Amino acid sequence: MSTKLPERTRAKARAETHHMPGRESADRKQVTQGRWASALLLPTLVLLAVVIIYPVVNAIIMSFQKDAGLNPATGFFEQGGAAGLDNYAHWLFQQCNGQACPPGTIGSQFWSAFGTTFFFTVVTVALETVLGFWMAIIMARSFRGRSAVRAAVLVPWAIPTAVTAKLWFFIFAFDGIANKVFGTQILWTGSEWPAKWAIIISDTWKTTPFMALLILAGLQLIPDEVYEAAKVDGATAWQRFTQITLPLVKPALMVAVLFRVLDALRMFDLPYIMTQGANNTTTLSILVVDQIREGFNSAAALSTVTFIVIFLVAFIFVRFLGANAVGAATSSGRK
């Protein structure tokens, strides 16, 4: 005898299940929660639009306007007007009134500042990543006083950048601690390469604890059982580091590197306080501030170019280098 229910009976059962009071209540509750979530998020979205989107859009609009100034063709002072792409050509092609900007002017420093910014970014982030990884591995171990060590390591990062810059300015003074300790007579902030390395050392000292903290968070997510199993299989310390630690800590490491790269590309305080941007230590952020004193619209074009550069770097990290913490968390939550 067949135990299969007739099609009409099964359809009725499905309809009754769909219209169960409990299910309707759960659906209604979900819709209500969604509305509440939207209502609670709306003020934050409006605030972000005012604080972030509006300044960016306004800067882009300003970048297509001329700065007020003397028109060399007419000899009259003009209030500006549409500039088209002239402001961008001024920076990217270093053109001043249709000619190459004279050496020493702000317009002639764009590519120099661009190269200096990326030099600082590559060197400082590389040093901070290596030193931060080493510090994180040490702090991840169990030893007496580990909490005190972790707290002490964060002190340089907690000091305001302006205070750090002034501190290292005195250390690298001609009669400062650096020359006294090493018995040298180097003009650390008075010549190009010593000034650059003084800034790099200062930034590395301040920001390495930040890298160590983020990498330490990634290391603590690796189960101890994985290392114990590797030891049982006869893996050496180097094999455990390359085959277990690096692959498993990569998401946290790439996010830490991304944060530091974006921060270093906007470097302003350290070089400005230590050298005032002299001796080829001018970064893009310093150049923007210097240009503001001469014209807002041209400075807006430079800030837009800087924004695009930083956005492209962030896109490369997220899209191709795996620095997508949100995506990683979503994928792990679905498994």
DSSP state of 67: P
- CA–CA distances in Å: residue 315 to residues 111, 236, 319: 22, 37, 6
Collect all residues with Cβ–Cβ distance below 8 Å to 28 and sequence separation of at least 6.
none
Do 251 and 225 touch, CB atoms closer than 8 A?
no
**N-term to C-term CA, the chain:** 43
Q: Coil, helix or strand for 322?
A: coil
Collect all residues with Cβ–Cβ distance below 8 Å to 275 and sequence separation of at least 6.
189, 195, 198, 199, 281
pTM strictly above 0.85: no
What is the rounded distance in angstroms from the CA atom of residue 118 to the CA atom of residue 259? Answer: 15
What is the rounded distance in angstroms from the CA atom of residue 103 to the CA atom of residue 109? Answer: 8
What is the rounded distance in angstroms from the CA atom of residue 94 to the CA atom of residue 119? Answer: 20
Give the angle 52-263-256 at the CA atoms, nearest 5°. 110
Task: Give the per-residue pLDDT at 13.
Answer: 47
Q: What pLDDT tens digit does each residue of the chain (335 aa) get? A: 444 545 555 555 455 545 555 556 667 777 777 788 888 888 888 888 888 888 888 889 999 988 777 666 666 666 777 878 888 988 999 888 778 888 888 888 999 999 999 999 999 999 999 999 999 998 888 888 888 888 888 889 889 999 999 999 999 999 999 999 988 899 998 889 999 999 999 999 999 998 999 999 899 888 888 888 988 888 888 898 889 899 899 888 998 999 999 999 999 999 999 999 889 999 999 999 999 888 889 999 999 999 999 999 989 988 877 666 545 444 444 44
56-59 own/partner pairs: CB under 8 Å, 24+ apart: 56/307, 59/300, 59/303, 59/304, 59/307
Do 265 and 117 touch, CB atoms closer than 8 A?
yes
What is the rounded distance in angstroms from the CA atom of residue 69 to the CA atom of residue 66? Answer: 9
- CA–CA distances in Å: residue 46 to residues 49, 52, 54, 134, 194: 5, 10, 11, 42, 47
Q: How is residue 95 written in tokens?
A: 């053109």
User: How many C-beta neighbours within 10 Å does residue 166 have?
Assistant: 14
- Amino acid, single-letter form, for residue 67: D
Give per-residue burial for 53-82: e unless 16+ CB within 10 Å, then b.
eeeeeebeebbbbbbeeeeeeeeeeeeeee
Task: Give the per-residue pLDDT at 7.
Answer: 57
Q: How many residues does the chain have?
A: 335
Bridge partners of residue 66, in order along the sequence: 81
Burial of 278 (0-12, 13-18, 19+ CB in 10 A): middle
Task: Give the per-residue pLDDT at 35.
Answer: 82
DSSP state of 66: E
DSSP state of 63: T
